[in-house]
Amino acid sequence: MKTWLIALALAFVVALTVVGVGCGGGGDEEGSDVPTDRPTLEATLRSIAPTLEDLPSGFALQDPGEAFTDNEEAAETDPEGKQAALDRYNEWERLLGYRASYMTNDPIGTFMKGGTATVTVTLSLFRTAEGAADAIEWGRGIASDASRAMAMTPGAISMETEPMSFPTIGDETLAARFTGKIRPQNMAVQVDVDFIAHMVAIRRGRAVAYIVVGAIGGATPGQEVEDIIRVLDTRMVQALQ
């Protein structure tokens, strides 16, 4: 049970990398004044990233743990091709990204009773707010097209997407609901998993945060989605001051 949940979480990480990371306060920074050295970028992203205390109880960070991604690394898993991804990232002047995946400690109970099973987070820093806005707009196109979203989610065998009502947070907000079935790859036993996932992206100045919260067992993600996004927004404001 845990193996295919890990595969599900990693599939969402790949999808998020493509949509956003590969991704208010600080929005007035001039691009020429933005720090671009790796240690400063990593420190900024880490100051924004959620901790276990920010997530629902009973979740744990999954291997390979937290990861920072430069443009080359983020482009490696892009279904549209590495060069196409690099062209996008360079056009947006993406500086560095961060990603992490969390999973419930009780996958069997979650599957049987229904509940939130996975939380994936990606963050991106751009040189300018304009670049961040272009990135989130590109993600908006993916989120509104089920066939493109499914093509960018490893193992997905069916998917539907629809806009989702969500409070406006940050400088702009994108929210969508995904329902479908995923078949985790590289497993000895074939397992098809029904899921409902809420994807929310926000931009605050030159920073973008995406999360996907996935529920299984017939459940729907709940208040934790908004709670996590509000924490990330608060930290983006502080980090970009």
Q: Are 231 and 207 in contact (CB under 8 A)?
A: no
For the chain, the structural domain boundaries read 2-239
CB-based contacts of 186, cutoff 8 Å, min separation 6: 7
pLDDT at 9: 52
* Residue 65 Ramachandran class (φ > 0 left, ψ -120 to 50 alpha, else beta): left
Class of the domain covering 2-239: alpha beta
pLDDT at 19: 47
pLDDT at 33: 81
Q: Tens-of-pLDDT digits for all 241 residues of the chain?
A: 455 555 555 455 445 444 444 433 334 445 568 899 999 999 999 999 999 999 999 999 988 889 999 999 888 877 678 898 899 999 999 999 999 999 999 988 888 899 999 999 999 999 999 999 999 888 888 777 777 777 767 677 888 889 999 999 999 999 999 988 877 666 666 777 788 999 999 999 999 999 999 998 899 999 999 999 999 999 999 999 8
pTM of the full structure: 0.84
Pairwise CA distance, residues 241 & 239, whole Å:
6
Token pair belonging to 216: 């299984």
Cα Rg, the chain, nearest whole Å: 17
How many C-beta atoms surround the C-beta of residue 48 within 10 A?
23
